[in-house]
Amino acid sequence: LSGPTMVEGLVTGLRKAGVNVIDIGMVPTPVVYFGAYHLRTGCCVSVTGSHNPPDYNGFKIVVGGETLSGDAITDLHARIAENRLHNAPTPGSLSERDISADYVQRIASDVQLGRRLKVVVDAGNGVAGEIGPRVLEAIGADVEELYCEIDGTFPNHHPDPSEPHNLKDLINMVQRLDADLGIAFDGDGDRLGVVTRDGENIFADRLLMLFAADVLERNPGAMIVYDVKCTGRLAPHILRHGGSPLMWKTGHSLIKAKMRETGAELAGEMSGHFFFAERWYGFDDGIYSAARLLEILAASPEFPDEVLHALPKGISTPELKIEMGDRDPHAFVERFRETAQFEGGRPSTIDGLRVDWPDGWGLVRASNTTPILVLRFEADDQEALLRIQGAFRTRLLQLKPDMVLPF
């Protein structure tokens, strides 16, 4: 809801600095990224609260093809706070362009379904509600819309498909209409959620297995990057299909930078971000990812739910979140890494602390965008899962005895 005001201020400031601005209107974040390529600017800003609560808003900034993060963001904030900004003698220009049709056409020229699939799309009243269904219809899917009216108050449920309770209405509608699949987008359309006809939420790390096998058919030996929250079954799956797996930090800007550094063809995050360099531009795009998923499923002689259920699976939790209030989650995780000892486990400190055992793993990390801890657990069976969760519980409570744990 605060978007128009922020856009107005942003445009005024950019033009003051002599920058020529092209306003492409209210579109999903991936369409903004697409615009930087299509309009040959190499730079773009998406004004978005992403998947955060409605009172959050902010900027995703790309300069010279690189997404700003970390020190670059804090330096920019310091320059604004200290008013160290360039004032040009002549203000920049402002023009308006609608590139939605170009985006739809670019995807439809690359992806066409081998057979028709019936798909329910739940945009959670986020910005992908208009263009998401258009893209999937253009590639040959029969689309049924759910909560596709764009409304920044999010009256039906919060647009975050990584939270299973946000998918309940989608599951019900898929079953009621006997659709092949349910697709969910987050608030700004750069993440994807998927549910099957029988109501299973297919976590993003398992979808990445499907995408990896497909990409590796055409690109043997390719690097596939994934974040620390992903299943322990992903790396062996990538290796079996002739690929090179690389685990990295969570965060779209960090993953994109690692892809560029390694020349990876594909990357994915547990939260539902997928980055295709093969046939696309290497940025995270929930809508394009949905098109690629339907392409794979339509090419299979099996039903979509059979293909998805066949992907390797353990017993796992979704992302579990702990509100930290006034406490700095990054400082807490740093202390946890320094003090927590786990017998028989192999620790990884790429991002937070992940500990792997032969029969499962657990993770604690600090969110990049909100003051919370993010945890996830996976194991071969329920007994191992409870053991690993118990080990983490004991060590978390040693540091903060009043912590309310969601497991």
Active site residues: 50
Q: What are phi and psi of 230, to 5 degrees?
A: -80, 155
- Given a contact cutoff of 8 angstroms between Cβ atoms, the answer to whether 365 and 334 are in contact is no
Residues 6+ apart with CB under 8 A from 385: 315, 316, 317, 360, 377, 378, 379
φ/ψ bin of 221: left (φ > 0), alpha (ψ from -120 to 50), beta (otherwise)? left
With residue 316 as reference, give the H or E element that holds it.
Answer: strand 315-316
Burial class from Cβ neighbours inside 10 Å (0-12, 13-18, 19+) for residue 293 reads buried
Burial class from Cβ neighbours inside 10 Å (0-12, 13-18, 19+) for residue 89 reads exposed
φ/ψ bin of 300: left (φ > 0), alpha (ψ from -120 to 50), beta (otherwise)? beta
Burial 156-179 (b: 16+ CB within 10 A, else e): ebbbbbbbeebbebbbebbbebeb
CA distance 85 to 76: 10
- Sole residue written with tokens 């790396």: 235
Q: Which residues pair with 299 in a beta bridge?
A: none
First to last CA, the chain: 34
- How far CA 122 is from CA of 144, 196, 207, 319, in Å, comes to 9, 13, 18, 20
**Which DSSP letter does residue 20 get?**
-
